Amino acid sequence: MLPLLRYRSSTLNGVMMKPCGGRFMSVRPAEKDASKIVSARKKVTIQRLRALAAEKIPITVLTAYDYPTGLRSERNDIDICLVGDSLAQVALGYDSTTRLTLEEMIHHCKAVSRAVKTPMLVADMPFGSFHAGLDETVRNAVRLVRDGCVEAVKVEGGFEVVPAVERLTSLGIPVMGHVGLTPQRHTALSGFRVQGRDATPGVAIFRAAQALQEAGAFSVVIEAVPHLLAGYITQQLDIPTIGIGAGSETSGQVLVHDDALGVWSGHKAKFVRRFAEVGVTSNEGVAAYARAVRSREFPSEVESYAMNAGQWEEFEKLTAPDSNSGP
């Protein structure tokens, strides 16, 4: 239960009014140190990620879209918090990640950044934000870092985005690559299909990952590829790989927050595991709330406020029809 603040005493028509016990409703900003959870963990840096990969300790990555979801990464053992463009669907109700705008992404990044202090904070560059030339790409990446308060950006694609990765990293903006299934291009790929099942496209994915490393990417996401291919790429690269639907041999794993916690009610991909059923519990809670309100079971007397002793009788006197004390 949230702690309760106190109102200052006030007067109404000359009568001193005080809330019972000085308490009032629990809708209030969180405590200033709410995100400063006592932890032995140090701030996750690129150097730390490389060390984890070198020591074969799997890197944990989870998406977040707002302050509450960011706090879940901050309070638990998450190394990278990714503000993914999947927020287009799970948070904004769009039918595709390609609908997401840069302004919307920045808005959500700022919210997440208020919670995330220990994990490395990375943001997807939305569709269209890195397609109109290198100067435009730099401007948009700078906005994500400066205005969105993120520490690095993620760019989907292979050889075609290498110039952008080179330019951004040369300016000190860390870049995470993304190969295999690239959701922003799902229409061109004829849907959300596994990539690299055959040797030739598998080699292309491997070469793309190599090119991104050479361009300066500090890590690369490998999505929806056979586990043998993902394992081979991981062995050949010097930078950490983050798998999603790519088996257990990558340097780390990422899942969409709403998939992992059972919030999302849409299609469940083969590689998704539910670690909680928040959606079910939330629906049950909303239904129970509605029933309690309809039946007047809520709020109960203990959930209601009382007037100070003797003040109700005084109120009745002041509002009696024959009272001359009223307005």
Question: Which active-site residues does the annotation give?
Answer: 223
Pairing of strands 252-255, 241-244: parallel
Extended strands (E) in 224-277: 241-244, 252-255
Paired tokens of 319: 């509002």
Angle at 218 between CA 216 and CA 222, to 5 degrees: 110
255 three-state secondary structure = strand
Give the number of residues written for the chain: 327
Give the C-alpha separation, 259 to 107, whole Å: 22
For tokens 């932890």, what's the residue? 39
- Looking at the chain, the number of H-run helices and the number of E-run strands are 11, 10
Contacts of 191 (CB under 8 A, 6+ apart): none
For tokens 């760019």, what's the residue? 155
Instruction: Say whether the peptide bond before residue 327 is cis (omega within 30 degrees of 0).
Output: no
Give the C-alpha separation, 214 to 1, whole Å: 51
| DSSP conformational letter for 29 | P
Extended strands (E) in 125-163: 152-156
Contact 209, 221 (CB under 8 A): no
